[in-house]
């Protein structure tokens, strides 16, 4: 298969397996989504949802969240890991949004990435899932699958994001991002597939003999 043929197959297969793509992180507004994505760094969505429900019961907007102490927030989000840093960032973000943005989450990459603890991937998720703008958030898992499936040889997530955006229609980016995550968790996880087991890997590279080792992000 040529790269474009693999991309077409992957898109078709993912539509068959995951026609619907519910957003994994539970939230009721853009601020909750922003904080939930921040909490998801090195943490499962399931754990984030359990933790965030307790946090958002105390405050679900920047003004109220900015009034809660770092210590209180840390006590709630500790199970997510990186608690000290995340709790400080949550308070700082809440104060910035309250003082500079009227309590609203900004809708540009430039403004989002200026917020404490918010990198390009987090900003991309918020732009995609919060504002509906075309985006292709790439984490280490999508980075790994893109290489296994021969869609990118990127040595980092930035290059992989560029490669995936060039291969797939912009109208499909938001859905594909989630579909790849869902497929990876179900069929092509880091330990569950070595590039020779899941249907997409086998179809894209039927003659692959050795386990595939992806470039680390």
Cα torsion through 49, 131, 117, 98, rounded to 10? -100
* Spatial contact of 70 and 87, defined as CB atoms under 8 Å apart: yes
Per residue, what are the HEC states of 127-184?
HHHHCCCCCCCCCHHHHHHHHHCCCCCCCCHHHHHHHHHHHCCHHHHHHHHHHHHHHH
Among candidates 38, 189, 31, which has minimal Cα distance to 121? Answer: 38
As a 3-state breakdown, the chain gives helix, strand, coil percent values, each rounded to 5, of 60, 0, 40
216 assigned to active site = no
Cα torsion through 146, 147, 150, 153, rounded to 10? 110
Question: Among residues 4, 50, 54, 139, which one is catalytic?
Answer: 139
Question: Among residues 20, 54, 95, 121, which one is catalytic?
Answer: 121
20 assigned to active site = no
How far, rounded to the nearest angstrom, does the alpha carbon of residue 125 sit from its chain's CA centroid?
Answer: 6
Report the number of secondary-structure helices (H) and strands (E) in the chain: 12, 0
**Residues known to be catalytic:** 121, 139
């Amino acid at each position: 298969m040529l790269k474009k043929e693999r991309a077409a197959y992957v898109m078709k297969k993912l539509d068959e397996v995951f026609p619907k793509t519910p957003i994994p992180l539970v939230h009721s507004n853009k601020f909750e989504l922003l904080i939930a994505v921040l909490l998801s760094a090195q943490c499962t969505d399931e754990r984030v949802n359990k933790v965030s429900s307790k946090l958002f019961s105390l405050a679900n907007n920047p003004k109220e969240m900015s009034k809660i102490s770092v210590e209180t927030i840390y006590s709630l989000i500790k199970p997510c890991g990186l608690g000290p840093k995340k709790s400080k960032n949550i308070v700082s973000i809440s104060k910035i949004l309250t003082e500079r943005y009227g309590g609203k989450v900004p809708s540009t990459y430039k403004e989002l990435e200026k917020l404490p603890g918010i990198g390009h991937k987090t900003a991309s998720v918020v732009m995609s899932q919060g504002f509906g703008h075309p985006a292709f958030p790439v984490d280490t898992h999508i980075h790994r699958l893109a290489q296994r499936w021969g869609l990118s040889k990127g040595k980092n997530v930035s290059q992989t994001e560029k490669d995936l955006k060039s291969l797939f229609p912009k109208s499909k980016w938001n859905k594909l991002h989630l579909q790849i995550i869902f497929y990876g968790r179900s069929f092509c996880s880091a330990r569950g597939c070595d590039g020779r087991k899941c249907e997409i890997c086998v179809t894209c590279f039927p003659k692959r003999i050795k386990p595939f080792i992806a470039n680390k992000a």
